[in-house]
Amino acid sequence: MTIAIVAAMHEELSALLAQMPDEQRVRVAGRDFWVGHLRGQAVVVVLSRIGKVAAALTATVLLERFQVQAIVFTGVAGGLAPGVQVGDVVVATRLLQHDLDASPIFPKYEVPLTGHARFAADTEISDSLAAVAVGLLADPVALLGQKVVDDFALATPAVHRGLLISGDRFVSNAAESETLRRALPDALAVEMEGAAVAQVCHDYGVPFAAVRTISDRADDEAHGDFTRFVAVVASRYSLALVDAWLATLTPPT
């Protein structure tokens, strides 16, 4: 069983690669797919690049070329729902493309010919990721150090589960995030890749899960918040989450 770990950011990818004792690089479609082991588990680790098409292509190559049996996406996202704050973690239960609209031929948000707007994440993997996240966030100082916790006000981060929405836009003003909140009141957070990978995995019948750390609130401060968070905090969350989750899997016999 080989698991794909897909990261959206260089920083997250390099933190994971540093923990792989045996990675081999395979270059496909201009991307580096790193094949090896993490915590004794066979993995392919790759940078998706940003946006839905880039992420869908990466997922397809993982499934066709590397025959991975599950894909886990780790990255950052903008918080949308009230109470989804910077430093919190969102584990997706369902994923939707907020910029897809073939109405009136198909209902708004529905992916034509699939009958779905909301693609389900794998329950078992998501449950396990959420449990690991709760454990890690119980002690943010152990995870990030006192200075980072103080600088970013991350003393009491929370784990949320629910709808994650994706689109080809970095949502970085209050008006746009308010429009999304109105249109999709149950959306917890917004990012640019997850729902595309969920659609590809649905078509292939392969389990998929997404865990995102909130880097910003998708508002007028989003760009600055995002940049600082990615530079200092994001990779620590990603590495700790993926590492602790892989440690829960039964080691291959």
Q: Is the dihedral of CA 217, 219, 47, 21 positive or negative?
A: negative
- 176 as an active site residue: the answer is no
**Quick check: helix, strand or coil at residue 123?**
helix
- 216 as an active site residue: the answer is yes
215 scored as a contact of ligand SAH (CB under 6 A): yes
- Show Cβ contacts of residue 146 under 8 Å, excluding neighbours closer than 6 positions: none
Tell me how far apart the alpha carbons of residues 183 and 175 are, in angstroms, rounded to a whole number.
Answer: 12
CB of 54 to ligand SAH, least distance (A): 9
Beta strands of the chain (E only): which ranges?
A: 3-7, 24-28, 31-38, 41-47, 70-79, 89-97, 119-120, 159-166, 187-191, 208-216
77 scored as a contact of ligand SAH (CB under 6 A): yes
Amino acid at position 212, single letter: R
CB of 21 to ligand SAH, least distance (A): 28
184 scored as a contact of ligand SAH (CB under 6 A): no
CB of 19 to ligand SAH, least distance (A): 22
CB of 47 to ligand SAH, least distance (A): 10
Reference 129, options 15, 251, 229, 237; nearest CA is 237
CB of 55 to ligand SAH, least distance (A): 8
81 scored as a contact of ligand SAH (CB under 6 A): no
192 scored as a contact of ligand SAH (CB under 6 A): yes
End-to-end CA distance of the chain: 11
Nearer to ligand SAH, 37 or 49 (CB): 49
What is the per-residue burial (b if ≥16 Cβ within 10 Å, else e) of 21-60?
A: eebeeeeeeebebbbbbbbebebbbbbbbbbbebbbbbbb
136 scored as a contact of ligand SAH (CB under 6 A): no
Catalytic residue among 88, 191, 216, 219: 216
87 scored as a contact of ligand SAH (CB under 6 A): no
191 scored as a contact of ligand SAH (CB under 6 A): yes
- Residue of 222, 239, 241, 242 that binds ligand SAH (CB under 6 A): 222
Give contact residues for ligand SAH (rule: CB under 6 A).
Answer: 8, 50, 75-78, 170-172, 190-193, 215-216, 218, 222-223, 226
